[in-house]
Amino acid sequence: MSKRKYASGTAVFSACPDRFVPAGYHESLEIEQILERIKKIEKLSGVELGWPGDFPNGDGMKMKELIKRYGIEIAMVEIDTSTNPKYKFGTLTNPDEKLRKECMDYLKKGIDEIKKAGCNKINFWLGQEGYDYPLQVNYKQNWNNLRKSLKEIAAYNKSIQFCIEYKIKEPRTHCHVATIGKALLLAMDTGMENVGVTIDIGHALMAYENMAESAVLLSLYEKLFHLHVNDNFRYWDDDMAVGSVHFWETLELFYWLDEIGYNGWLSLDLFPYREGWEDISIQSIENMEIISEIISRVDKKKIRKIQSINNSMKIVEFLREEVLKKAF
């Protein structure tokens, strides 16, 4: 079984509000309390933070000291570009040139602080970059602004990997960076080696993608920089326990992660409204561990042979005989 590196986003330990219970289903925690809880989960060794919200006063050096105290590694930091209503019409694609310039200054400040914290991987989930109605935006202008802005950001600090996380909708009805193809196109179009893609399992499912194929596609261009792990029913970004709904597709993803040699972080991106933070984290990790154990013992040569003849019923039989029957 390959050695997996597990991290958790701080949202797992948040109050988990929704529009029906805006105060959240759990108590709100300070960052120190969240780190303490992550530390208690045996197989978690990393944390995925948000800037500036998770950083003490947005300060990178203070965050570095805090992380060192808890002995946890920063897997990645996401710069918040989606929660400020001032940027409701976008950040990098905002039609107001003054606001776009202001946002670029904000992003560069974030990059500086994140680097001070000792992290060399930054995530961009550009949730407000999109539209809600036909003819609402200038697609050509918006895509040019995205490409130009991301290239400038990547050139600002070449020692950092910048990860584009795609999502088909929410908060906009249509997000510009909606699918694996658009995210890869954008990353390649910047011409920068340090711009890649984050695959979020739930976002891939919402886009009706096969996440294993998406991971392989990115690996062909050396653009698979990070993975968010969770699950859903494809209708919405439910952020459920890993492998709880799409078990076979998750198994296939992990099979291909081994085939392409992915050794990066697997970050829990979960939102346990009614579940306990510890329960959902442990069950997600245990599901990934058992999936990894299954993959370690199955006959990969036989899988490749079946793939070579493209026989769907042979692979169904293989999974039944090699996974289900041996499990019982």
Contacts of 172 (CB under 8 A, 6+ apart): 127, 128, 129, 130, 131, 132
Give the per-residue pLDDT at 104: 98
Mean predicted lDDT score pLDDT of the chain? 97
The domain made up of 5-297 is a member of CATH 3.40.190.10: no
Each residue of 68-92: pLDDT tens digit? 999 999 999 999 999 999 999 999 9
Looking at residue 253, its pLDDT comes to 98
Digit-coded pLDDT (tens) for 239-271: 999 999 999 999 999 999 999 999 999 999 999
Burial of 141 (0-12, 13-18, 19+ CB in 10 A): exposed
What's the angle, vertex CA 50, arms to CA 34 and CA 65, rounded to 5? 60
CA distances from 300 to 98, 311, 315 (A): 55, 15, 12
When pLDDT is averaged across residues 205-225 and rounded to a whole number, the result is 98
Which region, left, alpha or beta, applies to residue 12 given φ > 0 means left and ψ of -120 to 50 means alpha?
alpha
Residues of the chain with CATH 3.20.20.150: 5-297
Amino acid 44: pLDDT = 97
Phi-psi region of 279 (alpha: psi -120 to 50; beta: other; left: phi over 0): alpha
The pLDDT of residue 326 is: 85
Is the whole model's pTM more than 0.95, yes or no?
Answer: yes
Q: Is the pLDDT of residue 237 over 80?
A: yes
56 token code pair: 């003490």
The pLDDT tens digits of the residues spanning 274-283 come to 999 999 999 9
Spatial separation of the C-alpha atoms in residues 268 and 28, rounded to whole Å? 19
Question: Can you tell me the mean pLDDT for 159-164?
Answer: 98
Query: Is it the case that residue 1 has pLDDT exceeding 60?
Result: no
Confidence of residue 328 (pLDDT cuts 50, 70, 90): confident
Task: Provide the residue type at 150 as one letter.
Answer: L
pLDDT digits (tens, 9 = 90+) for 119-156: 999 999 999 999 999 999 999 999 999 999 999 999 99
User: What phi and psi, each to the nearest 5 degrees, are found at residue 242?
Assistant: -60, 130
